[in-house]
Amino acid sequence: MSDRTRIRFQRINFETECWYDLINGRGFLINDTPFSDVDKSIRNMGGPRSPLYGSTYGDTNEFCDRYHCKCGKHIGAAFEGEICSFCNTKIEFTDVDIKFTGWINFHPFHVISPIYYLKLQSALSKKALENIIANDNIITSAGVIRKHSDTIEVKKSMLTYHNIGLDQFYDHYEEIMMWYRSKRKQKADLIDQLIEQKDYVFTSKIPVFSCALRPMGLTAESYYFSPINFSRHKTSLIVGKSLIATSTAVR
């Protein structure tokens, strides 16, 4: 009987992953629009289709950068095997790095990671979570912004922490979760887990994956994708709704 390989997934903290990429030259912060305002064929360096991801269809000398030396002074398959006179390294094929990631940063604001939104729905109930992060009634009739702990009366019932908005939910997360823990004892273990994993529940960083993993061109008939040899890379997967996980083979 042949060996079976199981895949074990691990959730990723967007905050720490972003800083790891920036520190190690594996990513950049997105701070611009995809294309130049002057010429829509020019990709902005700080945009979500940045040339930092690598060349694509329509670029000058498209895909020549797959063959380069360490310093990048020489590019193109015509120079393959030669030694660069600047950095003294061989010019050879280097496939695009699909792990090179752009990051959208909207700190100090936060959103809930999609997979943890589902977990919060299970812990608090779908209706309760929606009411908490809504801010329809955040200002009272007297023109005063409600505090997170103020109760409101809806159809003769007093609701605590409802309509406080996402920012207040983040700022008072532990307090609110402990209050619901006392009301939903059957979900105590899940709520304890969510309290411990606050850094995973909320994020102020959104990853924008390599253009090699996204449609590179669009015509009336089809999309164009950048060619890539996936066998050269450790498997990276996008699981569910924006849940990023790295896979590790376990025998």
Q: 99 and 22: one domain?
A: yes
Q: 161 and 213: one domain?
A: no
Q: CA distances (Å), 95 to each of 54, 91, 100, 201, 251, in order?
A: 10, 13, 12, 34, 28
Tell me whether residue 18 is in a domain.
yes
Contact 50, 42 (CB under 8 A): no
Q: 194 and 210: one domain?
A: no
Q: Looking at residues 136-165, what average pLDDT do you find? A: 65
Q: 215 and 91: one domain?
A: yes
Tell me whether residue 238 is in a domain.
no
Tell me whether residue 67 is in a domain.
yes
Q: 134 and 52: one domain?
A: no
pLDDT at 184 over 70: yes
Burial class (CB in 10 A: 0-12, 13-18, 19+), 27: buried
**Residue pLDDT, tens place only, 101-142:** 999 999 999 999 988 999 999 999 999 999 899 876 556 666
Highest-scoring range by mean pLDDT, 63-72, 76-85, 130-139, 238-247: 76-85
Q: 56 and 24: one domain?
A: yes
Q: 100 and 146: one domain?
A: no
**Residue pLDDT, tens place only, 205-220:** 999 998 877 766 655 5
Q: 128 and 142: one domain?
A: yes
Q: 22 and 56: one domain?
A: yes
- Backbone φ and ψ for 69, nearest 5 degrees, come out as -90, -175
> Residue 195 contacts by C-beta under 8 Å, 6 or more apart in sequence?
173, 174, 177, 178
Tell me whether residue 241 is in a domain.
no
Structure confidence at residue 246 (pLDDT): 46
Q: Quick one: residue 115, left, alpha or beta (phi over 0 = left, psi -120 to 50 = alpha)?
A: alpha
Tell me whether residue 249 is in a domain.
no
Q: 26 and 144: one domain?
A: no
Q: Which domain holds residue 56?
A: 12-105+205-232
Q: Looking at residues 72-91, what average pLDDT do you find? A: 83
Q: 16 and 90: one domain?
A: yes
pLDDT confidence band for 182 (50 / 70 / 90): very high
DSSP character for 244?
E
Which pair of tokens denotes residue 95?
């496939």
Q: 182 and 164: one domain?
A: yes
Name the domain count of the chain: 2
Pick from 242, 221, 222, 210: nearest CA to 53: 210
Cis bond before residue 108 (omega within 30° of 0)? yes
In sequence order, what E strands does 155-219 have?
157-160, 202-203, 205-208, 217-218
Tell me whether residue 22 is in a domain.
yes
